[in-house]
Chains A and B, each alone.
Chain A
């Protein structure tokens, strides 16, 4: 079945360091890969996404890379700040071209001041 694996489940870094979260997906037909940030008790919010026709996308301190051959994609956060602390979810669009998303299990990022 459709599956997205996300690692690590928890990540602790010092303020100013970089953080990397990795995901692998099972459906080779997936073409859309969003990343959501969810603060405690709040709604998931889209922070960046990438489509299969590009290999890398950057937005200020956040970047995402995609390797379609290996079926994995990664989120990179540079110069981390305490407000980056949250749970991050990767997702991939599921089969059938309906737009449904298959989410990873989440990564709890803690940025220590």
Chain B
């Protein structure tokens, strides 16, 4: 089966600019996750969707980050305005079932963002 797709793969912007990332999960997967992975650290969950509803966005900096999954399939993550500390890899993952412990998460290749 096709894996999780993300675009773009790389993005360079200046601080205070805006940027958007796109994710297409594995077909039929109900749950979608966005993680931020800063260089040298493990991924940190930003937001989790089940179908088109938000399950957890407790670590999303809502003053500058937003995300949506309007039709319960693909998702976009936006940063506006970007800060230097937003430089990271943004990983999208999906899991087949409804949100719950023990679901295997499949990761996309990530979008590497550099904010200058």
Residues of chain A at the chain B interface (Cβ within 8 Å): 4, 6, 31-32, 34, 36, 42-46, 49, 51, 89, 91, 93-94, 96-106
Contact = CB atoms under 8 A, between A and B. Distances in A.
User: Chain B interface: which size bin?
Assistant: 20 to 34
A45 B107 CA distance: 7
Nearest to A9: B40
Given A31-B102, A44-B107, A93-B102, A100 B42 contact: no
A101 to B, nearest CB: 7
Would you call the interface of chain B mostly helix, strand, loop, or mixed? loop
Contacts of A94: 45
Contacts of A106: 40-42
B103 interface: yes
B49 to A, nearest CB: 11
A101 B100 CA distance: 11
